[in-house]
Chain A
Amino acid sequence: MEITEEKRGKVKIVGLRGRLDANSSPLAEKRLQGFIEQGEERLVLDLSELTYISSLGLRLFIAIAKNIQKVNGKLALAGLNDHIYEIFKIARFTTIFSIYPSCDEAVAYCAA
């Protein structure tokens, strides 16, 4: 799993590349929590290069979303591939997350 970061105005864009599985999820969660602890309140997770996710990866999104909510921040997900979007649908995550096709749209939502 590779994690990239970029700042656009007030919005922090974090790219999760590769596989979010039982092995990589705990570390990825730590990194993301770290951003929130550093004061990032508007977070876009760019998933366009995420190739795989399991329930441990899904848990990470719940944990991050809850913490963003605590600081009255904004969280958006962008660029999910078809297979990952399908898993989000089965877990009924599509109703609780703001999901955008592109990173730019997700950034616009978080910046507003």
Chain B
Amino acid sequence: MGYEQIRIVLNNELTEIARLHQDVENFGRKCGLSSKTQFELNLILEEVLANIISYGYEDNRRHEIVVRAELKQSELVIEVEDDGRPFNPLQTPLPDLEQPLEQRKVGGLGVHLVRELTSTVEYTRREEKNRLVMRKKAEKSEPTR
């Protein structure tokens, strides 16, 4: 695998997630990621971004969210930076996943998926910004015969 990286700047609108997916898919193709890693990378970024866009801002102004991803050897380093209110996803309580359907709560499910699909998640708040750095093992796609 070569060394690839991508930087995407998004506005705080949910419709931006479609563009994000497109860019991330191009990045994944260049890196030769397996369809599973590609799927999970999209999912991780959507969960993080949807949280920021839906709950991060108290005003109606436009804000920029910066997404970076790079492949270092066989590890993906994914970074998201936003100027929303402080939010540390590592502090959100995990949803109770053993409850029967009637008692199932859906809050916290996105953060749970992010934690399960990454090997490490680090959160820092600095200069009025949230910065989330996630690491994930990258699988290569099978070479086509």
> Is the CB–CB distance between B109 and A58 below 8 Å?
yes
Question: Of A21, A62, A69, which one neighbours B106 at CB under 8 angstroms?
Answer: A62
Chain A residue at minimal CB-CB distance from B95 = A91
Task: Knowing A23-B14, A56-B50, A87-B43, say if A69 contacts B109 (CB, 8 Å).
Answer: no
What is the total number of residues of chain A having a CB less than 8 Å from a CB of chain B? 23
Instruction: Flag whether B100 is at the interface (Cβ < 8 A).
Output: yes
Partner of B97, one of A53, A69, A92: A92
CB <8 Å contact, A69 and B101: yes
Total A-B Cβ pairs within 8 A: 65
Q: B46 contacts A69, CB within 8 Å?
A: no
* Chain B residues, Cβ within 8 Å of A30: none
Q: Does A96 contact B (CB under 8 A)?
A: yes
Q: Is B28 an interface residue (CB 8 A)?
A: no
In the complex, which of the residues A56, A83, A91, A96 contacts B39, with contact meaning CB atoms closer than 8 Å? A83
Taking the complex as formed, is A90 at the interface, i.e. its CB lies under 8 A from any CB of chain B?
Answer: yes
Q: A36 within 8 Å of B by Cβ?
A: no
Q: Is the interface of A mostly helix, strand, loop or mixed?
A: helix
Q: What per-residue 1/0 map shows which CB atoms of A91-106 lie under 8 Å from chain B?
A: 1100010000000000
Instruction: List, in ascending order, chain B residues with CB within 8 A of A22's CB.
Output: 14, 17, 46, 50
Contact A23 B18 (CB under 8 A): yes
Query: A17 → chain B, closest Cβ, in Å?
Result: 16
Known: A52-B42, A66-B101. 12 other contacts (CB 8 A): A22-B14, A52-B21, A54-B46, A54-B50, A54-B113, A55-B47, A59-B109, A62-B106, A65-B101, A69-B101, A83-B35, A92-B98
Please list the residues of chain A having a beta carbon within 8 angstroms of any beta carbon in chain B: 19, 21-23, 52-56, 58-59, 62, 65-66, 69, 82-83, 86-87, 90-92, 96
29 contacts between A and B (CB under 8 A): A19-B21, A21-B18, A21-B21, A22-B17, A22-B46, A22-B50, A23-B15, A23-B17, A52-B42, A53-B43, A54-B43, A54-B113, A55-B110, A56-B50, A58-B109, A59-B106, A59-B109, A62-B106, A66-B102, A69-B101, A69-B102, A83-B35, A83-B39, A83-B40, A86-B36, A87-B43, A90-B117, A91-B112, A91-B113
